[in-house]
Amino acid sequence: MTTILNPQAMQKVLTHSKEYERAIGLLNKQWDPDEQPIFRNVLQSADVQFARQLQIAGLVKGKVDLSSYQEVNQLMMQHDSWFSESARKTLLSPFLD
């Protein structure tokens, strides 16, 4: 099911904002938390939420389906160092009851 993004999210997409780039990095499995020389740049909860919005809206398919528990679990097993604790919780939240 696709949904329409709100105007703020659409602006992030159209301008390729930092938030958009982070979400795309997650969806395409192209993220390097050690790219910044000063600090570890791990993905945050907001990055996961925005990436999920992009997939639900049908704008970006990516290499990982964030609506699939199997794919999310595999992503976390392979790239655990990419995510903050809050991002891990956000990734798993749709699957917890």
Q: Does residue 2 fall inside a structural domain?
A: no
DSSP 8-state assignment for residue 43? B
Q: Does residue 73 fall inside a structural domain?
A: yes
Paired tokens of 90: 């956000």
Q: Does residue 44 fall inside a structural domain?
A: yes
Q: Does residue 48 fall inside a structural domain?
A: yes
- Residues 79-88 as b/e (b if ≥16 CB within 10 A, e otherwise) read eeebbbeebb
The whole-number average pLDDT for the span 67-73 is 97
pTM of the entire predicted model: 0.91
Q: What pLDDT score does 6 carry?
A: 92
The structural domain count of the chain equals: 1
Paired tokens of 31: 């993220």
Q: Does residue 1 fall inside a structural domain?
A: no
- Rounded to 5°, the CA angle 92-13-78 comes to 35
Q: Does residue 84 fall inside a structural domain?
A: yes
Q: What pLDDT score does 37 carry?
A: 75
Give the model's confidence band at 1: pLDDT under 50 very low, under 70 low, under 90 confident, else very high: low
Q: What pLDDT score does 36 carry?
A: 77
Q: Within 10 Å of residue 69's Cβ, how many Cβ atoms?
A: 13
Q: Does residue 86 fall inside a structural domain?
A: yes
Least confident of 28-32, 36-40, 62-66, 68-72: 36-40
Angle in degrees, 0-180, between the axes of helices 18-27 and 45-56, rounded to the nearest 10: 70
Show the domain range for 23. 7-95
Paired tokens of 75: 């992503």
